[in-house]
Structure 1
Amino acid sequence: MLNRVFLLALTDWKNIKRDPLLIFSMLGPLLLAVLARIGLPELDRLLNQYMSFNFQAHFLIIISLVLLMTPLMIGMLFGFIILDERDEGILLYYSITPLTKVGYLYGRLLVPMGLTFILSFMIVLIQGVVQIDVFSFVPVAILLALQTPIITMIMSTLASNKVEGLALTKVINLCILVPLIDYVFTNPMVKLVMLFPVYWPVSMLINMNSSYYWYQFLIGVMVTFLWFILLKNKFQKKIE
């Protein structure tokens, strides 16, 4: 099964290379990390010089949002692949091959998770503006990876074709505001954003040195799996 999933991933890579938009979806978070490394220190210097504003205090939330862009973009990338294959009738072909529909599901959900996990560590190493302990970051990377299949399933269940998928990406990109709302506002009602799984990896990274770090990880995993269960049946029906 794993060999077949690997072959499916190789086929995906050939398709991705043909579309510049899909390539950007994969490399976009890394480019943002490079931009953060170069631009944030200079922006902090200018704001300190002309406005006496300590922008460096907000570097961590900015890097957290860059990291969150990884599952969003990778999830949307594989969502587009599923929509494209559904439009061309390729899903029926996979169901009668040795890969089977179960193997197809594994490939479409596990491969993007692995990509997100790897890219998250690459971003941490590239950004260079905040100190993040690599070993302590592992739970955050796991939780970031778990967001990817959620985004993929949202794309493939709510959109009927690639045109609708493009429109849906604008809504999905608003997920980046979920942890930012909690960061900016102090009203207790804002804590409703905890119902969204994308909130938890950002909150974990910001509170990495807190005593409730592992509690956040467990809650984040539970919230994410709840969303996964809610979307799973609709996702399976869509690819039948």
Structure 2
Amino acid sequence: MNSMHREERIFNMKKIVLFLKGDIRSTIRDPLMLFVFTIPFLMYLLVTFGLPYVDQQIVQFSHFQLMDHRVFIVAMIMTMVPMMVGMLTGYLLLDEKDDGILQYMEVTPLKKAGYIWYRVSLPAFLSFMITMVMACILLFREPVHWSVLVAAVVVVSLLGPVITMYLASFAQNKVEGIAYTKLINLVMIAPVVTYLFDGWWTWIGYVIPLTWGVEAFIVAMNGNGSVNSMNVVILITGGVAVTLGWLYVLYLNFQRSVH
């Protein structure tokens, strides 16, 4: 029995390595995926040079300045990588859904559940690594609560698997996936609403996982001030709970869509 379990684990590891090699080849051939890896550097240029330049133009017509809201803008930028990674891995899963790979995996020791676990853990890992690089590039000269920032990166990295499952559960193919991708832009409104307005009704924005991550980033970038530990715990645990809740619901919907 132990020998069978060992052989099964070895087989699963070989399969995962094979899938990973295939994903690397797909990434190298996909210009859009390669573009994702350049985002941290492009965002550095945008924040360092783009925002001040735009403010110079705006000041001629208005007292409004984007740099006054720089922390919020950077916090929103931090969420771009997980969302884009989730979209791209979602497209990969849709291709595999069309090719019948999921049905094939059901008869292997890895099983469909193991393969899906790999498919949702990959965007989470990529999102975490690239977002951390972005944070270091954008904020290396600024006072930052790095422990809070790392926790915030963990929260937003979970958006990658959520976007992947969202596309895989609702779209039947990549063409539909591109159409559903456009709806993702609507969730960007939630943190903007909670940032601009005060009122009991803004709690609706916290149904969206993105809102928790953005607010956690804002707290982390308040490096010159003290941090309310309880507030941080609420933001991180709330963000993880809401994100995992959405991931579970979307996973169940995906399971129904492939049966």
Instruction: Give the Å deviation of 1:174.
Output: 2.2
Match of 2:102 among 91, 94, 104: 91
The residue identity in structure 2 corresponding to 1:167 is A
Q: Residue deviations 1:130-171, cap 9 Å, x none?
A: 543333311101101112111111110111111110101110
Letter in 1 for 2:236: F
* Structure 1 position 45, deviation (Å): 4.6
Equivalent of residue 182 in structure 1, options 181, 194, 216: 194
Q: 1:5 aligns with which of 16, 24, 34?
A: 16
Runs of 4+ in 1 over 6 A off after TM superposition: none
Residue in structure 2 matching 1:194, options 206, 216, 224? 206
**CA deviations over 1:157-205 (Å, ceiling 9, x no partner):** 1111111101011101222222112112224312211111111000111
Which letter does structure 1 place at the counterpart of 2:68?
A
Q: Tell me the CA shift for residue 210 of structure 1.
A: 3.8
Question: Is 2:234 the counterpart of 1:224?
Answer: no
Q: Deviations over 1:99-157 (max 9, x none)?
A: 43233112101111000111111111222485433333111011011121111111101
Is 1:61 matched with 2:72? yes
Which structure has the bigger radius of gyration? 2
Shift of 1:92: 2.6
Q: Does 1:152 align with 2:171?
A: no
**TM-score in terms of structure 2 length:** 0.82
Which has the higher mean CA deviation after the structures are superposed, 226-235 or 128-137?
128-137
Equivalent in the alignment of 2:215: 203
Unaligned runs of 5+ in 2: 1-11, 221-225
Q: Deviations over 1:61-85 (max 9, x none)?
A: 1111111111111111111001111
Answering whether residue 180 of structure 2 is matched by residue 168 of structure 1, we say yes
Q: Which amino acid aligns with 2:234?
A: Y
Matched, 1:234 2:234: no
Residues 28/158 of structure 1: CA separation in 2 closer, same or farther (3 Å cut): farther
| 1:23 matched residue in structure 2 | 34
Contact 1:44 1:56 in 2 (8 A): yes
Q: Which runs of 5+ in 1 are unaligned?
A: none
- CA offsets 1:33-52 (integer angstroms, 9 cap, x no match): 43223312333455457644
Contact (CA 8 Å) 1:75, 1:152: kept in 2 or not?
yes
CA distance 1:59–1:92, change in 2 (3 Å) = same
Pick aligned residue for 2:114 from 103, 111, 120? 103
Q: Aligned in 2, Cα 1:111/1:187: closer, same or farther, shift over 3 Å?
A: same
Contact in 1 for aligned 2:149/2:216 (Cα 8 Å): no
Which one of the candidate residues 38, 54, 58 is aligned to 1:43? 54
Cα 1:231–1:5 change in 2 (3 A) is same
Partners of 1:99 and 1:33 lie apart in 2 by 41
